[in-house]
Structure 1
Amino acid sequence: MLLPAISRLLLLCIAILTQHATSTPSPYEPTFHESVNRRQDGTNQTAGRWLAAWTSMPQLTEPANLPPAPFNTSSGLVFQNTTIRQTIRVTAVSTRIRLRLSNAFGLTPLPITAVTIGKPVALSTPASPNNTGAGSPAVDVATLQTLTFSGSPNFTVPNGALVVSDAVDVDVAPGDDLSVSIYLAEGQTGGAITSHPGSRTTSWLASGDQTSSDDLSAAADAASVAHWYFISTLDAWVASPPSTSSPPGTLAIVGDSITDGRGSTTDGNDRWPDALLSRLQHSNSSTSTSPLLSRIAIANQAAGGNRVLADGLGPNALGRFDRDVLAQPGVRYAVVFEGVNDIGSAADEAGAQRAVGDALIAAYRQFGLRAHAAGLPLFGATITPFSAFNFDASLQPYSGRERETTRQRVNAFIRDSGGVFDAVVDFDAAVRDPEDETRLRTEYDSGDYLHLNPAGYRAMAEAFPVEALVQFAGGVDGYA
């Protein structure tokens, strides 16, 4: 008797499934196709991706880089009832963006009250006399949009966390500037805040909610600083081209003060990654590689004083590689250009330098393993000269014969790494003095024998092997 009952049950199930398959969907019920295209991030495109179109490496703010009074109190309350206006330079073409705010180093929650984004207006000020939009306190109010976070204009970011805004429609192109205004009604307590001190870009502070103000410098207590606070990444939605042979992607650079742009012009955006972006955007249109190159965004993840092997100004590079490279959206290439601060901070004697050289080479191997596991090609950049005349440490503290021996040894490994690096960016060869390879060319030296000037940074950008970006456009595989 059990088998006929099972048979009737099976026939009933078949009838129900048949009726459902042939019925017309309710107008109030989305089809499966509609459901997968109605995305949480607000994008309906299926051919495209989010990628990092601007970044700053988050780090703990040193006391000297905390905001001035009245935006910083003796009790440790920072930015209470304060608007922070900051400009960033976009490196991708897009019609839709979202912003990431970081509380990575805060010990207390970060209560965001309001955030707007718009296009800055060039406005010459004593802090930025040759302003072209970067570092401007003024914004075109007609372009302002309020950013929301999970649908709300305010959001409390837990300590150690970040928040991603909801996407908004904004037309941007590589080289465009955007103005971000953040208002904190309550401020942040504890004195430990997240920032990027080496912005090389002027930011503006004023009391009250001035996120919709046209010019922050007009405020009675307006102040300017050359730091970024809380902003860490601008994501851009980039549509894929009709051909899948050259999809968009980001070149992420791990570096120190040379990549962070010490010696460059404040508000000038003339660091070497900036010059490289310009080169990619102005590649010869008659070549078949130019469409690919113009679709590559750049994420500058550098910080002054940063080291590979130990924390200093910011977390060590090995410790932050996952956060600053692998976790960034749309990264297709990784560049490591670090080691000078490790060499320079070790004693100028043979044993200490042998140890730091061994450790750097071992660390580079770790970068290679992690990048290749993620399918990313890893480019290694040679360490540029840092010694003064006759290794005079009174002129440049990093000067030293044993340190120079380590630099040469490490560079030899970078140039012939046995597969650790997929391409070599020979910055050393591009900027060293042809008469004395221990020193920078005089015309590229910013004056401290270590950091370059804008001409030197342009030379570095010209030395970048853009053909390798074409060669490894599809990533890497086959690594065990």
Structure 2
Amino acid sequence: MAVGTRAARAWPVSLLLALVAVLAGPVVPAGAGQSTDGHGWTGTWATAPSEHYEVSGMSEVTVRMPVRTSVGGSRVRVRLSNAYAGDPVTIGHATVGLRGGGSTVERPYELRFGGKRQVTVPAGGQAVSDPVRFPLPARADLVVSLYLSGQVTHITDHWWAQQTVYWTDYGAGDHAADTGGDAFTWTTTSWPFLSGVDVTAPPAAAVVALGDSITDGSYSTADTNRRWPDLLSARLNACRPGAGVLNAGITSNRITAGSETNPSALDRLERDALSQPGARTLLLFEGINDLGGAGAEQIIAGMRTIADRAHQRGMRVVGATITPYKDFTWGGWTEEREARRQHVNAFVRDSGGVFDDYADFDRAVRDPADPQRLGPAYDSGDHLHPNDAGMRAFADSVDLTSLGLGRGCS
């Protein structure tokens, strides 16, 4: 079943040629947990690399990427991924700053990498910027601007961002420090190279949402941060300001199988969840894409392995039930697969200690008149992906105490 199969882009060739941008710096482990002064790092925003492009003729361009923070802090660093590239990429200048509206930035703060303004991220590698003193609020619109000074041949990105990303024309030069947005003349909806933003704000902790297209926010309203992890972050921030929520959703992702640029949840668990700075709780919401090609026991076995690996790292694990999708527009639903879904959900609700707790997303959005269907009030129109109301129902259905983040949330 091809749940969340990518729709063809109606982008001009020039847009496809230009999905890029990146900070980059000294190659360090993505989950490096302590700054040099002993302050702990916590992720405030994250996304999972999920796509690869070859491009030609791209150089001297600047890209500006808005992201929504979850937890605030006094210092900021940016993490980058060149995971699927065949060549290194050079960043000539990078900045962060609060968004002023559209593609404008109130005050850009310059980023350095190993003390240098320019950095080259190797093919298949990662990079983390030096910390910059920057009072970053929680639930703020942060903008990461990257000037690509050299020739770009390959781009690693997260393609279904549900967020407008701003670009200059090729050859326009360095506009990373611009406060205005006039130089940014065209847009895409992907985050190239950017994989995470961290802050120092002890004591703090993060929840990682590991999922597929539903967690990715597919079919939620673009540019409004209505993915369910964003909405969960808003709930947490009201009672536990030090709690970050990191979105590790990838469209079409599965637990039991994957591909080079869309590895299975098992294969990407370390990269996208366990190594996230400050990660304390894993919320696993996967399995719907597995129903067409894997048996219920195979899916459950994958869930057990994920939970066991997270527990070995000292993390709390919350499982989520698989949501209904009868009459899904792209097909794939059968009585047999529905039986598998019910079997897996019964395990999630009573896992015998595999999960520390569970979130009943199935119950939150199913149609009471036909529980095999997504409720009409929550349906984006394809009978599988929830709309904004469905995203809200997910976030509201999570028992905040189940996340194990300490006092303050009930």
- Determine if the TM-score, normalized by the shorter chain, exceeds 0.5: yes
Q: State the secondary structure of the residue aligned to 1:119.
A: strand
Matched, 1:222 2:201: no
1:47-96 Cα offsets, whole Å, 9 max, x none, are x41011100101223x5xx7xxxxxxxxx336311101101111112111
Instruction: Give % identity.
Output: 39
1:196-232 Cα offsets, whole Å, 9 max, x none, are 011111001103211122333x23x721011100110
Q: Tell me, in whole angstroms, the C-alpha distance in 2 between the residues paired with 1:305 and 1:184.
A: 30
1:18-54 Cα offsets, whole Å, 9 max, x none, are xxxxxxxxxxxxxxxxxxxxxx98664x5x4101110
Deviation at 1:402, TM superposition (A): 1.1
Aligned to 1:367: 306
Indicate which of 179, 185, 191 corresponds to 2:143: 179
Q: How many residues align?
A: 371
Q: Tell me, in whole angstroms, the C-alpha distance in 1 between the residues paired with 2:270 and 2:301.
A: 17
1:339-381 Cα offsets, whole Å, 9 max, x none, are 111114x3xxxxxxxx522211111110121011111111100
Q: State the secondary structure of the residue aligned to 1:251.
A: strand
Indicate which of 241, 254, 260 corresponds to 1:307: 254
Deviation at 1:177, TM superposition (A): 0.9
Matched, 1:202 2:181: no
Aligned to 1:137: 103
Matched, 1:161 2:161: no
Kindly indicate whether structure 1 or structure 2 has the higher relative contact order, using CA contacts under 8 Å at least 6 residues apart: 2
Aligned to 1:4: none
Q: Tell me, in whole angstroms, the C-alpha distance in 2 between the residues paired with 1:58 and 1:397.
A: 27
Aligned to 2:176: 211
Q: State the secondary structure of the residue aligned to 2:247.
A: strand
Deviation at 1:336, TM superposition (A): 0.9
Aligned to 1:316: 264
Quickly say closer, same or farther: Cα 1:336–1:376, change in 2 above 3 A. same
| Larger gyration radius, structure 1 or structure 2 | 1
Residues 70 and 237, structure 2, Cα contact 8 Å, conserved in 1: no
Structure 2, unaligned runs of 5 or more: 1-32
Matched, 1:409 2:357: no
Residues 82 and 193, structure 2, Cα contact 8 Å, conserved in 1: yes
Structure 1, unaligned runs of 5 or more: 1-39, 67-75, 123-135, 241-247, 283-289, 347-354, 475-480
Residues 90 and 176, structure 1, Cα contact 8 Å, conserved in 2: yes
Runs of 4+ in 1 over 4 A off after TM superposition: 40-43
Matched, 1:236 2:202: no
Q: Write 1 or 2 for the structure with the bigger share of strand.
A: 2
Counterparts of 1:20-99 in structure 2, within 5 Å, are 44=37, 46=38, 48-61=39-52, 76-77=55-56, 79-99=58-78
Q: Tell me, in whole angstroms, the C-alpha distance in 2 between the residues paired with 1:278 and 1:78.
A: 41
Residues 35 and 41, structure 2, Cα contact 8 Å, conserved in 1: no
Aligned to 1:121: 100
Aligned to 2:3: none
1:384-419 Cα offsets, whole Å, 9 max, x none, are 01112xxxx6x3413221111111111111111111
Counterpart code for 1:445: D
Q: State the secondary structure of the residue aligned to 1:370.
A: helix
Q: State the secondary structure of the residue aligned to 1:308.
A: coil
Deviation at 1:433, TM superposition (A): 0.4
Q: Tell me, in whole angstroms, the C-alpha distance in 2 between the residues paired with 1:78 and 1:469.
A: 47
Counterpart code for 1:229: P
Q: State the secondary structure of the residue aligned to 2:152.
A: coil
Counterpart code for 1:55: A
| TM-score under structure 2 length normalisation | 0.87
Q: State the secondary structure of the residue aligned to 2:160.
A: coil
Aligned to 2:28: none
Q: State the secondary structure of the residue aligned to 1:77.
A: strand
Counterpart code for 1:338: E
Aligned CA RMSD, in angstroms, stands at 1.9
Deviation at 1:294, TM superposition (A): 2.6
Residues 323 and 362, structure 2, Cα contact 8 Å, conserved in 1: yes
Deviation at 1:473, TM superposition (A): 4.4
Q: Tell me, in whole angstroms, the C-alpha distance in 2 between the residues paired with 1:274 and 1:161.
A: 28
